[in-house]
A and B are shown apart, each in its own frame.
Chain A
């Protein structure tokens, strides 16, 4: 190969490698492509318990009451008392009784999870259809129904994570195996049936 051609081929080769590095990942298999920041921003809707990932915007309890009546009440009841959908209100003090009621106010450990779940999954017939402002508003209204924020509250990315959920300290790690039984073979106690 003449020298000039070789130089051109080398240059092309370098250019190809540079191009490849820009768009193809460099893993062992070279499979897949790099995700752009815009693509990730469009898909990543995860909210951390500390509020990380919460978007700009805000919503009031009164706006939340309107949105809730239109979008949520059919399944969750006018005042969050439940129906086809979960009961959202009350339940404090019931968790150690024979009829525990697990609600947002009575059970959920972190308020930002409310924004995360409403935005990704609610309303059931049209998830991801509410504006961020309206998700903040509905979150504010549900927390207000539970007596956790006052009527004049406006929630945003800063105030939502600061709400103290009453049941936060009640979650514990998995200690299983928690039942240890020797395997009896003979003269065992009858199972009682």
Chain B
């Protein structure tokens, strides 16, 4: 359903609103053991608007305990993960965050993007163990209680799938279709460095092979420099324990590195002298160049941004003021600048970066804009603290070709038509 930027609530059609209202009323009545009928469902659209008193002020609301774990308003029921209905299979698959529906920089846990390679395991944390072995002084086993005894830290970082999106048409219609394999959360856990030091690294320790306790036993090799820098063993996300889809009870977070390396359901760390060259770092997650060579161990997600509002699938209801907003991020550090063009790339203006501006985290940008009602193309361009500038798709394709598949950090232009409809200009 196209989403009207200016009048989102009014886009909820009458029949659905009545259905929802009836459902809520029945649920509330059952719990409260009193009042509430469905007769109000026949009320006209204006009965809750000024000068009338809205019906939800005339009866008590749901009592305490109606929900012991809160869920969004029923009027937000369409804000869910974006999961394709035409996947060849759903055990090795991905589901996207609805970026264009979210504000700020933190992704709610229920909407965090998912990618797993053999389904989501259900793991009893009392029976989960982390084994650390290989080129260490003392091979060790940790329980989850052990892991939580190490001094914890919390950090906000984005996580992004390496293939987000591909290089070939057709490109996605919405921001979520395009780059929805991207989310950001506050992660709590222990620096991997502390745990490695507890076992004692040998001088020849150069890589750590991390393995998940899922049915894929997913394995990636991580350079020791990253393990001793900002890598974390994480057990909580946005204040609560990890969701099963995010690796409960324990996962790796490697800030700025491609998503699949951030091993979920982490059960084993094998310290080695060289990478293991697992299937996931040879057959997959390598970047094919036009000459047939393939880049391997391409860890970093480079600087990127996208306008989430207005964006594909939305509609500007009228000319006049509209804020342009979106998100920017870089695996190599902080975002230093975001430029926005509202004239198909002819000129660019610097957007305001909203605090906090954190390393390897989503950064929210904003630009006030008056739409004159004429068709145009808008787009954003991120620069990170290394000086790296987000490229156009054409610039990326010129170097990498269409077979590259992963690490597409192109600028994505949105076309705004005279009637206000927003669509992906890259599909033209």
Contacts and interface: CB of A to CB of B under 8 A. Distances in A.
A191 B428 CA distance: 12
B379 A191 contact: yes
B379 A113 contact: no
Contact of B219 (A46, A177, A178): A46
Nearest to B130: A32
Residue of A34, A179, A183 with highest tally of chain B CB at under 10 A: A179
Interface stretch (B11-19, B241-249, B270-278, B309-317): B270-278
A178 B138 CA distance: 41
A189 B426 CA distance: 16
B146 A32 contact: yes
Interface in A100-148: 100, 102, 104, 107-110, 113, 116-117, 120-121, 124, 127-128
B131 interface: yes
Contacts, number: 213
Interface residues of A, number: 62
Interface stretch (A8-16, A21-29, A57-65, A149-157): A21-29
B389 A182 contact: yes
Interface residues of B, number: 88
A183 B348 contact: yes
Given A120-B217, A190-B345, A32 B141 contact: yes
Interface stretch (B52-60, B192-200, B361-369): B192-200
Interface string B376-398: 01010101001011111011100
Contact of A102 (B211, B288, B377, B381): B288
A47 interface: yes
A44 interface: yes
Contact of A187 (B133, B346, B383, B403): B346
B377 A191 contact: yes
23 contacts: A28-B194, A31-B150, A32-B140, A34-B139, A44-B270, A46-B209, A107-B282, A108-B279, A108-B282, A113-B279, A121-B118, A124-B91, A124-B215, A127-B217, A173-B296, A178-B400, A183-B383, A187-B347, A188-B348, A190-B346, A191-B377, A191-B425, A193-B425
Interface of A: 25-29, 31-35, 39-40, 43-49, 84, 95-96, 98, 100, 102, 104, 107-110, 113, 116-117, 120-121, 124, 127-128, 170-193
Closest A-B pairs by Cβ, 9 of them: A27-B198, A96-B292, A191-B345, A193-B425, A120-B217, A95-B292, A117-B279, A35-B139, A49-B277
Interface of B: 88-89, 91-92, 117-118, 131-133, 138-143, 146, 149-150, 194, 197-200, 209, 211, 215-219, 267-268, 270, 272, 274, 276-279, 282-283, 286, 288-300, 302, 337, 339, 341, 344-348, 377, 379, 381, 383, 386, 388-392, 394-396, 399-400, 402-403, 407, 411, 413, 415, 425-426, 428
